[in-house]
Amino acid sequence: MTLVANARQEEAWNGEEGRRCADHYQRLDRMAAPANEHLLAAAGIGERDRVLDIGCGTGDTTRIAARHAARGHAVGIDLSAPMLEIA
């Protein structure tokens, strides 16, 4: 059994919205790259840190975090099946 507090979000991210983001993930990742630099700098992830990326989408931020935490761990979770398929 799956429990989701916000059923509309779950429907959106597993429906048209999630499929559109999955279809265009490379372009979206390129668009987000400048912001992700600031995000990761602010997060200050250390080499041995353990990172949980909630709402990881297609996984770009999780992979970046994993490179920063090269001797630690990075795990991404998401509720969108189309996006997790890409991740």
Query: At closest approach, how far in Å is the CB of 52 from ligand SAM?
Result: 11
Interface residues with ligand SAM (CB under 6 A) are 9, 13, 32, 54-57, 60-61, 77-80, 83
Give the residue closest to ligand SAM by C-beta. 57
Which candidate, 21, 33, 26, places its Cα nearest to that of 57? Answer: 21
CA distance 3 to 60: 26
Residue 64: other Cβ atoms inside 10 A: 21
Q: Which is nearer to ligand SAM, 54 or 71 (CB)?
A: 54
Backbone dihedral angles phi then psi of residue 47, each to the nearest 5 degrees: -55, -35
Beta carbon nearer to ligand SAM, 64 or 71: 64
Rank residues 41 and 77 by Cβ distance to ligand SAM and give the closer one: 77
